[in-house]
Structure 1
Amino acid sequence: METTTLSTRSGELAPERRHRVEEFAYRMRHDVLNMGEVQGQGYVGQALGAADMFATVYADQLEYRPEDPDWDGRDRFLLSTGHYAIGHYAALAEAGIVPVEELETYGSDDSRLPMSGMSTYTPGMEISGGSLGHGLTIAVGTALGLRHQGSSARVFNFMSDGELDEGSTWEAAMGAHHHGLGNLTVMVDINALQADGKTETVLRTEPVPDKWAACGWFVQRVDGNDVGQLLAAFDAAAREAENQGRPSVVLCDTRIGRGVPLLETREKAHFMRIDENEWQTCREQLTAGHEGATK
């Protein structure tokens, strides 16, 4: 089995590179809390947990033009999990594609930022996600189409571990290997929770690395809340694409509510309802944890 598990390699990475991504993720988490307070509830836990994944892509990997989200030469980021849109909006704002001030309209009538991602509304949102299991099929078609056009653009597809329940995911995985889509990188948020309960009780999918490897992918499993590991994994994926021309998957173990202890331990965390008096506590915990980590 060709699976790589990465340990922290911060010593091999330029400190300023890692710092840039970590600061991006920190700002994203504040944006998520601010948006969540607008509705008083939502998929806040997933967005906090996946912030380091989003930040690594947008602050370090993606080629894009903030002033021209539809630039033909851009790398494509496909959010398969439409309910993670609150996290994606925070990334788009910190990337300069959506004004930070616009985040205040999240989930409101006539907003460009609906609670589930819609490509027709939001600049930088490539697909309308939500029907889980479809994102990878679209990503495979996009990567194949770009190659036929002679484009050097890459495709990044963000998935959840719940989507590994879907047969369409594995059909697409086999197709990507068959076509040698080295321009495709998938990241899977493995937070071990679905709408109906713990992932292992809904449908056991482990050993996940073995399944991807059996489909012919270059597989890495990392701590999805460790920026050093994420950066090293994407570097390795780029080398694999150049040398072997095959797709890569980065399996990211994350913690729901990461950075906010109050939410990290909350039960029924798939869709969180947060009391009005708790939002400021969440921000204070986030700030305290970040300042403590950077001292």
Structure 2
Amino acid sequence: MHYITSADVTRLELKANEIRQSIIEMLYEAKSGHTAGPLDMADIFTLLYFEVLRHDATNPNWEDRDRVILSNGHICPVLYATLAYAGYFPVEELMTLRKFGSRLQGHPHRESLPGLETTSGPLGSGLSQAVGMALAERIDNPYSTKYFYCLTGDGELNEGQIWESLMLAGKEKLNNLIMIVDRNGIQIDGDTQDVMPLEPLAEKFESFNFDVQEVDGHNIRAMNDAIGKAQAVYSQPSVIIAHTIASKGVDVFERDFRWHGNPPGKGPEDRVPRSEQEKIALQKLRTLAGTISTDDL
């Protein structure tokens, strides 16, 4: 298990807060895109790319790298921002999100940008890709130490393809597969519990022969420990159910499903006028001074 110090946690929190600010600026400039998921997954992406993963921004196709497969590709602003800060391409390019001719498309396109492992689109397909990649790696190199991290949303679990993939991963005992579920409780048309109840979620994963952990997705140390435990699982794939707060870091956006698919400037106006949404969001994040509070979940 990879140990992180208190100084590491502070460094990662500061970086996650910087990434959140870029997400707000990107979305406001694009005038389209998803807000809630990118903000609430910033801690996890920061931990992965700045602490956990084996990767090399100067050699994106390095054969021995770990793979990150983003299944719910609509949250790609957090992936783009993280890749930029990790050195894969200039941070200034983030402001081209969703613009005509940009490499930063509304869903990741593998051939457009360094650091992308897959092209996304249909929800659920990313987990199928991750399972196939993990299985192929085990066949090609039984002694491989690579990990395949698949990030999904809880609303995405409505897709039947997810459960077909889980069935195969459990059957094949893919211990090189680590699935991370963003359990923020919202999707585009409401709260997940109202749209399509998922509980008992942990028991469902266990029935597919997955090792299951439930963690506060904003607690960087706890997430790091959970990933370390998942890496040590010998004969099962792993899933980490990361309980997050939708739109984390901007309290006037938090836990509101209406921010799932709206950018600042086009979001609901009952709490913040659209003309003030970007400014207020950035003020909230900068006021945090790099410390992301971990509310009781």
Both structures adopt the same fold (TM-score exceeding 0.5): yes
Larger mean CA deviation between 262-271 and 197-206 belongs to: 262-271
3-state secondary structure, aligned to 2:213: strand
Shift, 1:183, TM fit = 0.8
CA distance in 2, matches of 1:250, 1:146: 22
State how many pairs are aligned. Answer: 280
What are the within-5 Å matches in structure 2 for residues 27-106 of structure 1?
27-106=18-97
Matched, 1:21 2:3: no
Matched, 1:223 2:234: no
Gaps of 5+ in 1: 1-11
3-state secondary structure, aligned to 1:250: strand
For 1:200, which of 184, 193, 200 is the aligned residue? Answer: 193
Counterpart residue type for residue 78 of structure 2: G
Matched, 1:152 2:149: no
2:173 corresponds to: 180
Shift, 1:42, TM fit = 2.1
Matched, 1:258 2:251: no
Shift, 1:169, TM fit = 1.1
**CA-to-aligned-CA distance 1:245-284 (integer Å, 9 cap, x gap):** 3211000111111111222165612112423432122111
CA distance in 2, matches of 1:86, 1:196: 20
**CA-to-aligned-CA distance 1:72-117 (integer Å, 9 cap, x gap):** 1111100101101111101111111121111111111111001122
Q: 1:267 to 1:141 in 2, by over 3 A?
A: closer
Larger mean CA deviation between 271-280 and 66-75 belongs to: 271-280
Contact 1:80 1:133 in 2 (8 A): yes
Q: 1:79 to 1:265 in 2, by over 3 A?
A: closer
3-state secondary structure, aligned to 1:263: coil
**CA-to-aligned-CA distance 1:107-147 (integer Å, 9 cap, x gap):** 11111001122112121111111201111111011001112
Q: 1:291 to 1:138 in 2, by over 3 A?
A: closer
CA distance in 2, matches of 1:94, 1:167: 35
Shift, 1:68, TM fit = 1.4
What TM-score comes out, normalization by structure 2 length? Answer: 0.89
Gaps of 5+ in 2: 266-273
Counterpart residue type for residue 177 of structure 2: L
Q: CA RMSD in A?
A: 1.7
CA distance in 2, matches of 1:114, 1:276: 25
For 1:110, which of 101, 117, 120 is the aligned residue? Answer: 101
CA distance in 1, matches of 2:285, 2:14: 12
What TM-score comes out, normalization by structure 1 length? Answer: 0.90
1:8 corresponds to: none
1:6 corresponds to: none
Q: Segments of 4+ in structure 1 off by > 4 A? A: 291-294
Contact 2:13 2:292 in 1 (8 A): no
Contact 2:72 2:123 in 1 (8 A): yes
Query: Structure 1 vs Structure 2: percent identity of aligned residues?
Result: 32
For 1:162, which of 135, 155, 158 is the aligned residue? Answer: 155
**CA-to-aligned-CA distance 1:150-169 (integer Å, 9 cap, x gap):** 13221000001112112221
Shift, 1:178, TM fit = 1.6
1:4 corresponds to: none
CA distance in 1, matches of 2:241, 2:255: 23
3-state secondary structure, aligned to 1:70: coil
Counterpart residue type for residue 280 of structure 2: T
CA distance in 2, matches of 1:58, 1:174: 29
Larger mean CA deviation between 274-283 and 54-63 belongs to: 274-283
1:290 corresponds to: 289
Contact 2:13 2:291 in 1 (8 A): no
Contact 2:249 2:292 in 1 (8 A): no
Q: 1:109 to 1:31 in 2, by over 3 A?
A: same
Say which structure is richer in helix.
1
CA distance in 2, matches of 1:235, 1:292: 24
